[in-house]
Amino acid sequence: MITDLLLRIALAGFLGGLIGLERQLRAKEAGLRTHILVGIGSALFMIVSKYGFDDILSESHVALDPSRIAAQVVSGMGFLGAGTIIIQKQIVKGLTTAAGMWVTAAIGLVIGSGLYEIGVFGTILTLIVLEVFRQLSQRFLSHHFNLLLKLKPECVPLVFISIRNLQAEFILRTMRVKSPNDDEWEMIIVLALKPGKSINDVCSELLNLEGVNSVTVR
């Protein structure tokens, strides 16, 4: 029994590490060690939830819900997931990493309960979604970029016309004046480029416009 439980903990950490390795290779907020710890911790909580109270459950006056600790892991992952989500100037980053940590916790719970096949299958499916689907989306779907432009206010219409001429879609997020005495504005737009279009070409085109001082891809 002890050997089986130790195997569950190690396997949960290993499967979580596979997901974390993919995240770290992508330079995301939560990487290898974080996902390993999430997997191990979830497995430990599940083991405690299932077997940690066997010594008192034999008492006639004791009745416990064996799922209560595991249920807290699901809601508790929201705390760690929120820590990986960054909101900066109305741009949200880290949602995929947060979802990956949530799935890693689920895999740890599954392995901790002894459902090895389900945990391994869930890990493989998660890696397919993170890696294979990423490549498919980059090849066949539009790419989204956040652009920060510093420009003079009179050239804003020229920027919009130039983007339209490049057959790109965009959403204006913010536009503000840096200071009351400054004639330079900051504008953030979300740009959707079709496959085959280069963001470098778009940036070069915008920088050629008179009045556009800088273009930064965020």
Render pLDDT for 189-204 as a digit per residue (tens, 0 to 9). Answer: 888 887 777 888 888 8
pLDDT at 117 over 90: yes
Structural domain spans, the chain:
2-140, 143-217
pTM of the model: 0.68
Which CATH code, of 3.40.50.300, 1.10.10.10, 2.60.40.10, 3.30.70.260, is assigned to 143-217?
Answer: 3.30.70.260
Q: What is the pLDDT of residues 67-90, one digit of tens each?
A: 777 788 888 887 777 777 776 555
Tokens found for residue 139: 């090849």
Q: What is the pLDDT of residues 28-52, one digit of tens each?
A: 767 888 889 899 999 998 888 888 7
For residues 121 and 104, what is the distance between their CA atoms, to the nearest angstrom? Answer: 12
For residues 144 and 141, what is the distance between their CA atoms, to the nearest angstrom? Answer: 10
